Amino acid sequence: MSTLPPAESGPVSVGMIGLGNMGLPMALNLLRASGPDRHIRKVTVTGRSRERSAALLAAGAAWAGTPRELAEQSDVLILMVPDLPQVEEVLFGPDGVAEASTELVVVVSATVSAAGLRTVDARLRHGTHGRMVLVDAPVSGGTEGAEAGTLSIMVGGDVEPVARVLPVLSACGSPLRLGPLGAGAVAKACNQLIVAATMSAIAEASVIAERSGLDLGALLDLLQGGYAGSRVLETKGRRLVERDYTPTGAAKFMVKDLSFAAAAAADTRTVAPTLAAVRESFLRLTEAGLGDQDLAVIHRYVGSL
């Protein structure tokens, strides 16, 4: 059972670990939403290199030397790290979050396994006698959404800790509680299936169009105005035309994300042929050495077949 204070207890101090392509702009938005008479009192960060956080520190963030020190200074701690092994390292490693004596809601914004997340939560609650609990809050919207503060944020967790973090997450986009812990992870798995399938269809259609002699840029602009239009087409279409696969998010991570979707499908006895097909495609393109490039690189992969 959690011993966290009620959500209406006042302004909160927010900590953040994971200041990469997504985490850095999210932290900047948290800073912009902080100050006197605001819900966020202050923002503190930590990481492997203080120098990489220079822009945040210049903007007003505080620095903590270790995850434990960061936890001691925070009411809500957001983790934007790659996967559960990194979450466990931050929580349970030397000078980890779980060694702090404070009450804390830890928000896992990575794309992770729902079952694994619940296991980590049970360990954290037991080890801290209920002082610390997890909420999952994976995001969608890419670096563009992270910078603009317009991310879709899929939240899972107990009602009380979720109530504490929703106003904080609102600085980064639109958070919505979808159910108990793990609901956010399942929602993100569904999101990634749709994104991967859409990107794959756009790539295949683009190769067909190019080989048929069509002006690809004109075609994709036209398609965006009809039923084929999507956020994926809007943000990735120009990349296909220009063969620009510079990563905003590496395609190889889709293999992991789609594995979580496959696990959710198995748990719910759902036959998902589209999921199986797109998972295979991203696995093969990663094996072909394209995984470090942008999601749009599936266009190059399809063209090589």
What DSSP character marks residue 103? -
Residue 192 and residue 277: Cα distance in Å, rounded? 13
Euclidean distance between the first and the last CA atom of the chain, given in angstroms as a whole number:
54
Sequence-separated (6 or more) residues with CB below 8 Å from residue 86: 18, 79, 110
Q: 135-151 burial by CB neighbour count: b if 16+ within 10 A, else e?
A: bbbbbbbbbebbbebeb
Instruction: Classify strands 76-79 and 62-63 as parallel, antiparallel or unpaired.
Output: unpaired
Q: 3-state class of 56 per DSSP?
A: helix
Determine whether 188 is an active site residue: yes
Helix (H) or strand (E) holding 266: helix 253-267
Question: Which residue among 42, 188, 236, 252 is the active-site one?
Answer: 188
Q: How many C-beta neighbours within 10 Å does residue 208 have?
A: 11
Q: 3-state class of 104 per DSSP?
A: strand
Please give the structure tokens belonging to residue 224: 């965006």
Give the chain's largest Cα–Cα span. 66
Which residues are known catalytic residues?
A: 188
